Amino acid sequence: MFDIPANIFPWVKAIVGLALIGALFGAGMAAIWIERKLAGDIQERYGPNRVGPMGLLQLVADAIKLFTKEDIIPARVDKILYIGAPIVIMMSVFLMLVAIPFGAVYINGVEYVLAATQMDISILYIEAVSAIAVIGIFVLGYGQNNKYAMMGTFRNFARMIGYEIPLGITIVSVAVMAGSLDVVEIVHAQSPIWYAFLQPIGFIVFFIAMMADMGRLPFDQNEAEEELQAGVFTEYSGMRFGLGFFAEYFHLILGSFLISLLFLGGWNLPGFVTDNIVLGIILPTLFLIAKATIVMMFIIMMRWAVPRFRIDQVVDLSWKKLLPLSLLNLGWAIALGLYLGA
């Protein structure tokens, strides 16, 4: 990271933070549009195509609808928890956003990472703050005083706790092989070969566990097929519901970037030379965005390829299959790390 004069440091940090939040909301709207279009193609229909070119302004119309809907607070809810729960969930997203690099630029052979901050334990920090969403989900369900919301909360608890363990073990496997907990250093360690090839089992386990952590189908336990309601968001309406809806897509975007950073080489591309200053500024970030977009599109397509699992199937997959595989991958990562280090 380049040095910034102390007198402008707070202003630069504020501008970078606001720019990242704005970019995240823009990316969230783009992800919704991509999902609708892909769903239309898979199901042989048009998808959004009436409001604006290619249906792009449909997202703006939906946002206006959510903002202008009446904010109804049911009489018997715990108002403090009811109002605060969406804020806690969004706080988890924004805390993750701080430490995730979204690309890099090369100027005269020097790399400048595009991140709000860079820390030595960034991947550990990201894993820790992502777990705040578990608290947010509990507050969300408990504060509504609704049995269907609580059932959705308990299903989410069973899923998120079960998949956080293999997810964390796989992250340790990556850190062991890279010799660092810094996401940037993990990306640098993949310059000759991506970890998706060195740890194929770890890549598969991390991918599945990350999908479950995002709450994407077939691991969408917020709702259930037999319950004709909105699961943990049963009593929410208007923009409070919109925040929960957007949080799912924010986790989808950040999770896709994490998969690309930890296993697909981040902004590295084999054979890429950074001698040209223009290409060095543009291409590395485009590489990372392209990888994350492909990962995100694959996750979206899985929604229409696999039916929602029952909660017992979700728990069995985590504890009986992914956990042993993640431990096996950890042993492989330690052995391979010692061999390559020698």
pLDDT in tens, 71-115: 888 888 899 999 988 888 888 888 998 899 988 888 777 888 888
Per-residue confidence (pLDDT) for residue 204, from 0 to 100: 96
Q: Are residues 298 and 185 in the same domain?
A: yes
Last residue of a domain, one of 26, 42, 68: 68
According to DSSP, residue 274 is labeled: -
Burial of 304: CB neighbours in 10 Å, binned 0-12, 13-18, 19+: middle
Burial of 338: CB neighbours in 10 Å, binned 0-12, 13-18, 19+: exposed
pTM of structure? 0.90
Gap between the Cα atoms of 152 and 160, Å rounded: 12
Residue 113, beta-bridge partner list: 104
Per-residue confidence (pLDDT) for residue 115, from 0 to 100: 84
DSSP class per residue in 33-44: HHHHHHHHHHTT
Classify 64 as helix, strand or coil: helix
For 19-25, the CB contacts below 8 A with 24+ separation are 20/97, 20/102, 20/116, 21/94, 21/97, 23/102, 24/93, 24/97, 24/250, 24/253, 25/246
Q: Are residues 79 and 42 in the same domain?
A: no
Q: Are residues 133 and 21 in the same domain?
A: no
Could you tell me the two tokens for 288? 């990372």
pLDDT in tens, 302-340: 888 888 888 888 889 999 999 999 999 999 999 998 887
Q: What angle do CA 88, 92, 98 make, to 5 degrees?
A: 135
Q: Are residues 8 and 102 in the same domain?
A: no
Last residue of a domain, one of 68, 86, 103: 68
* H runs (alpha helix) in 190-276: 195-198, 200-214, 238-263
For residue 108, give every residue at least 6 positions away whose Cβ sits within 8 Å of its Cβ, in sequence order, or none: 277
Gap between the Cα atoms of 124 and 146, Å rounded: 35
Q: Are residues 38 and 166 in the same domain?
A: no
Last residue of a domain, one of 68, 95, 112: 68
Which residue range(s) make up the domain with 306? 73-340
Q: Are residues 153 and 178 in the same domain?
A: yes
Could you tell me the two tokens for 230? 């909105």
Q: Are residues 54 and 138 in the same domain?
A: no
Q: Are residues 59 and 175 in the same domain?
A: no
Per-residue confidence (pLDDT) for residue 171, from 0 to 100: 95
Per-residue confidence (pLDDT) for residue 230, from 0 to 100: 67
Could you tell me the two tokens for 183? 């996401």
Q: Which of 30-44, 188-202, 271-285 has the lowest mean pLDDT?
A: 271-285
Number of domains into which the chain is organized: 2
Burial of 71: CB neighbours in 10 Å, binned 0-12, 13-18, 19+: exposed
Average pLDDT value for residue range 1-26? 67
